[in-house]
């Protein structure tokens, strides 16, 4: 689209800087740096929930276009605020309640039943802010784990599948959704996304309606990843919302008529949104930093990986590997979901992340 792109990131030489026209090196919450960015841009957007919503709100009040809106970010940044907002707008979510004390946590565990999920309300992602309480013996340890942080207890949903939808809305009010996909998590971190989700047409339509309704009440402008639970009865509940391009939407690069990235740009610039079509089944598998290693890394096994038909490798360019850090992903397409899944697994198993000193 030939736009000039300026990024703000605390890491000099961050992955985005390699393709951007300019980088401002500063913390995501640095108000002065955010103002410098705004003065250089026609439209501001963000790719991380840690962005400074209050600073962005001040910019919006000075007529700088910020999309999604700072108020949307403020709602989503706090999980209790997010769930409360959805509940107020009659969008189905799991039962939840703020925890006032350790004794109160015991009471809530009795009220909701076990297992239940204790969640930090802010600054948590990829499972880092979750603690599954499986028995009464876990309560003290869980409470101490989050000591000093605001937490809420959420009733455990015995889901049959976890699904998500990428859905975009522009300021003019046009809303377009991508296919419903199925997500498989390991240790609360997304491992695999399967497109399309293997669900009934009825459940699919419920999920799409719920996603579009969520975008309407949030007045979202941009692309959002909306994660949901599907229950045994076929009910669909919203789990979490990401106001940005999302891991579970990476398959759109190869498998859809428009990618989540292009759709996001269309949305924040108030251009007409494309109507996404799934061109072929696809599977995305994340590449995470291995346990027990923290440092500069290299990727081995590329020859074997490149021989897998329909498979594409993305390495993000993060300089350092850390345990469970998202460093890249593999997407594979196929004539069927089964074929795409087999190809994605074969491609993922072909590569290994090793310390750079061990690479040839």
- Measured CA to CA, the distance from residue 287 to residue 315 in angstroms comes to 8
Q: What are phi and psi of 157, to 5 degrees?
A: -100, 115
Tell me if 22 is assigned to a ligand binding site: no
Tell me if 236 is assigned to a ligand binding site: no
Please say whether the beta carbons of 314 and 308 come within 8 A.
no
Tell me if 154 is assigned to a ligand binding site: yes
Tell me if 307 is assigned to a ligand binding site: no
Tell me if 157 is assigned to a ligand binding site: yes
Tell me if 185 is assigned to a ligand binding site: yes
Tell me if 240 is assigned to a ligand binding site: yes
Q: What are phi and psi of 236, to 5 degrees?
A: -125, 125
CA distances from 183 to 20, 188, 226, 251, 307 (A): 30, 11, 12, 12, 26
Tell me if 96 is assigned to a ligand binding site: no
- For residue 11, the 8-state DSSP code is S
C-alpha R_g of the chain: 21
CA distances from 19 to 6, 32, 38, 77, 253 (A): 10, 24, 19, 28, 17
- Measured CA to CA, the distance from residue 264 to residue 271 in angstroms comes to 10
Nearest to 273 by CA among 176, 178, 180: 176
Binding site residues for ATP, as ranges?
79, 119, 154-157, 162, 185, 239-240
Binding site residues, as ranges?
79, 119, 154-157, 162, 185, 239-240
């Amino acid at each position: 689209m030939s736009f000039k792109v300026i990024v703000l990131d605390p890491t000099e030489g961050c992955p985005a800087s390699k393709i951007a026209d300019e980088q401002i090196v500063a913390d995501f919450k640095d108000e002065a740096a955010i103002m410098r960015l705004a003065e250089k841009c026609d439209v501001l957007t963000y790719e991380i929930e840690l962005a400074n919503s209050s600073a962005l709100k001040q910019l919006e009040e000075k007529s700088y276009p910020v999309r999604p809106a700072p108020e949307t970010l403020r709602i989503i940044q706090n999980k209790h605020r997010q769930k409360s907002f959805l509940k107020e707008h009659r969008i189905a979510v799991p039962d939840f309640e703020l925890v006032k004390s350790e004794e109160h946590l015991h009471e809530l565990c009795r009220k909701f039943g076990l297992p239940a999920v204790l969640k930090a309300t802010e600054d948590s992602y990829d499972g880092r802010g979750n603690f599954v309480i499986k028995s009464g013996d876990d309560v003290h340890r869980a409470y101490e784990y989050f000591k000093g942080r605001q937490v809420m207890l959420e009733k455990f949903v015995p889901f049959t599948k976890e699904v998500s939808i990428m859905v975009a809305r522009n300021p003019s009010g046009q809303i377009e959704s991508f296919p419903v996909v199925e997500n498989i998590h390991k240790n609360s971190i997304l491992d695999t996304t399967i497109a399309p989700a293997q669900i009934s047409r009825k459940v699919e339509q419920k999920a799409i309606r719920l996603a579009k309704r969520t975008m309407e009440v949030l007045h979202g402008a941009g692309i959002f990843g909306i994660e949901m639970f599907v229950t045994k009865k076929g009910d669909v509940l919203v789990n979490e919302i990401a106001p940005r391009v999302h891991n579970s939407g990476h398959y759109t690069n190869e498998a859809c008529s428009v990618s989540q990235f292009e759709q996001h740009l269309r949305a924040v610039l108030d251009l007409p949104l494309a109507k996404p079509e799934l061109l072929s089944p696809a599977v995305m598998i994340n590449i995470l930093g291995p346990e027990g290693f923290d440092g500069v890394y290299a990727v081995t096994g590329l020859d074997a990986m490149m021989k897998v038909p329909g498979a594409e490798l993305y390495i993000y360019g993060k300089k350092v590997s850390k345990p469970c850090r998202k460093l890249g992903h593999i997407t594979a397409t196929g004539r069927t979901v089964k074929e795409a899944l087999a190809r994605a697994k074969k491609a993922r198993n072909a590569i290994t992340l090793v310390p750079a000193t061990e690479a040839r």
